[in-house]
């Protein structure tokens, strides 16, 4: 009889062909989806060729998404995308996205039903952990590891310990999944879950929509996590149903599974959170924030660029104007989200408010383009990292918050809450 296991352990055991696994064990597993983008995949392609490989292991289980520096910002980025395009054509890669088809990868792949519950997903991007919201074991790897997986369809892991985080109580007004994960990172620190599978559970999580679950799993890496998972339930099934492009298996943690640590939070005590420069763990509640004037606000990214996020921002911005001398940039995360935002009237609300509306792109999140900061400028963003120079000049400042706080702050011209409007 196999030992009681967590969802992470069950997925890895199944993909390793084993009855059970335990933390610290080295396992060789098959991969359901391997992905790269226009920054990381060119390196993988070079390694693929140097290894002498001729064909990818499965043209339907690789995704190449040109989302970081696109639309191409310069000659180098154009060359990188061309490299992806030519490789995708040569190998007949099914899931290749650029131009009008491209979206921010970690929003695009779930939307299209390409990543599913029970999967093992690796990506040459640290925020691949986003897919854990579906109940998948998903994690970021290096470009060389991606190349090896493209050749063999396999990779290896040390089975991580799991940390169970239980969210109890009721959410305060304007508190979202972004606030819960910022609060958690602020509590345990950027290395508080180092090489652990973070498992988000409890009655609050069970009530959260998929958009908020994706946000939380997305930022597991900011606590050092190897993965961030939510046990699949009816909400997961509703999201996946009709999207799934193939069969999938659902795994959930055993009630008596062993955890390295269990943390419980009373969400009634959590207010909207702000992460101050220059780490996601530098969080404070909105009530503790003194006047912080802003030059720019960004709403979008793989963390908070979904239609639910845009709906919250639009509800706050409707009938109001962005503060004088402040730039508000709104980037719907996929073409489908962009089209839905247009249909629902959100884009007109953003435009009337004075926002710049851009295409689906990672762009400003990594200081790439479409919102790079100058020396001394301050920005508030719904993205996931605020390291030194993350959005531009090393002497700029970046603050992290939810779409609600971002929208309110854009109107106020400083960090603030919808309650102040």
- Domains of the chain as residue ranges with CATH: 7-264 (3.30.499.10), 273-420 (3.30.499.10)
In this predicted structure, the answer to whether residue 376 has a pLDDT above a threshold of 90 is yes
pLDDT digits (tens, 9 = 90+) for 137-183: 999 999 999 999 999 999 999 999 999 999 999 999 999 999 999 99
Q: Please give the model's pTM, rounded to 2 decimal places.
A: 0.95
Given a contact cutoff of 8 angstroms between Cβ atoms, the answer to whether 417 and 174 are in contact is yes
**pLDDT, averaged across the chain:** 96
pLDDT of residue 368: 87
In this predicted structure, the answer to whether residue 1 has a pLDDT above a threshold of 70 is no
Radius of gyration (C-alpha) of the chain in whole angstroms: 21
In this predicted structure, the answer to whether residue 318 has a pLDDT above a threshold of 80 is yes
Single out the residue of 181, 205, 198 nearest to residue 272, CA to CA.
Answer: 181
Helix (H) or strand (E) holding 138: strand 137-140
Given a contact cutoff of 8 angstroms between Cβ atoms, the answer to whether 158 and 139 are in contact is no
Check whether the bond before 108 is cis (ω within 30° of 0): no
pLDDT of residue 2: 74
Residues in Cβ contact with 24 at an 8 Å cutoff, skipping those fewer than 6 apart: 158, 159, 161
pLDDT band at 49 (very low <50, low <70, confident <90, very high): very high
pLDDT of residue 14: 97
Place of tokens 């979008």: 300
pLDDT digits (tens, 9 = 90+) for 238-261: 999 989 989 999 999 999 999 999
Given a contact cutoff of 8 angstroms between Cβ atoms, the answer to whether 223 and 192 are in contact is yes
């Amino acid at each position: 009889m196999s030992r009681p296991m967590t969802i992470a352990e069950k997925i890895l055991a199944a993909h390793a062909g084993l009855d059970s696994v335990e933390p610290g064990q080295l396992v060789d597993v098959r991969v359901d989806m391997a992905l790269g983008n226009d920054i990381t995949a060119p390196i993988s392609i070079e390694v693929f060729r140097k290894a002498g490989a001729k064909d990818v292991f499965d043209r339907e289980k690789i995704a190449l998404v040109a989302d970081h520096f696109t639309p191409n910002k310069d000659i180098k980025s154009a060359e990188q995308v061309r490299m992806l395009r030519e490789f995708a054509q040569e190998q007949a890669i099914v899931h290749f996205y650029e131009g009008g088809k491209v979206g921010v990868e970690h929003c695009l792949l779930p939307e299209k039903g390409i990543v599913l519950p029970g999967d093992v997903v690796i990506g040459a991007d640290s925020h691949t952990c986003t897919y854990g919201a579906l109940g998948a074991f998903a994690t970021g790897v290096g470009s060389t590891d991606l190349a090896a997986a493209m050749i063999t369809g396999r990779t290896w892991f040390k089975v991580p310990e799991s940390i169970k985080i239980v969210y109890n109580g009721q959410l305060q007004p304007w508190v979202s999944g972004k606030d819960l994960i910022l609060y958690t990172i602020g509590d345990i620190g950027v290395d508080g879950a180092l090489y652990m599978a973070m498992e988000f559970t409890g009655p609050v999580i069970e009530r959260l929509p998929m958009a908020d679950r994706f946000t939380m799993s997305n930022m597991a890496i900011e606590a050092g996590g190897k993965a961030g998972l939510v046990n699949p339930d009816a909400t997961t099934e509703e999201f996946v149903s009709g999207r799934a492009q193939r069969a999938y298996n659902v795994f959930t943690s055993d009630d008596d599974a062993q955890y390295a640590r269990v943390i419980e939070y009373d969400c009634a005590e959590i207010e909207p959170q702000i992460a101050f420069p220059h780490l996601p763990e530098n969080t404070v509640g909105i009530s503790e924030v003194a006047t912080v004037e802003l030059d720019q606000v960004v709403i979008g990214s793989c963390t908070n660029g979904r239609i639910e996020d845009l709906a919250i921002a639009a509800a706050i911005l409707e009938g109001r104007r962005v503060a004088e001398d402040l730039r508000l940039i709104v980037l719907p995360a996929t073409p489908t989200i962009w089209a839905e935002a247009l249909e629902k009237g959100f884009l007109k609300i953003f435009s009337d408010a004075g926002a710049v509306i851009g295409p689906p792109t990672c762009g400003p999140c990594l200081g790439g383009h479409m919102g790079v900061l100058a020396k001394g400028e301050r920005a508030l963003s719904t993205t996931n990292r605020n390291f030194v120079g993350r959005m531009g000049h090393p002497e700029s400042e970046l603050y992290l918050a939810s779409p609600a706080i971002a929208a309110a702050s854009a109107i106020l011209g400083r960090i603030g809450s919808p309650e102040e409007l």
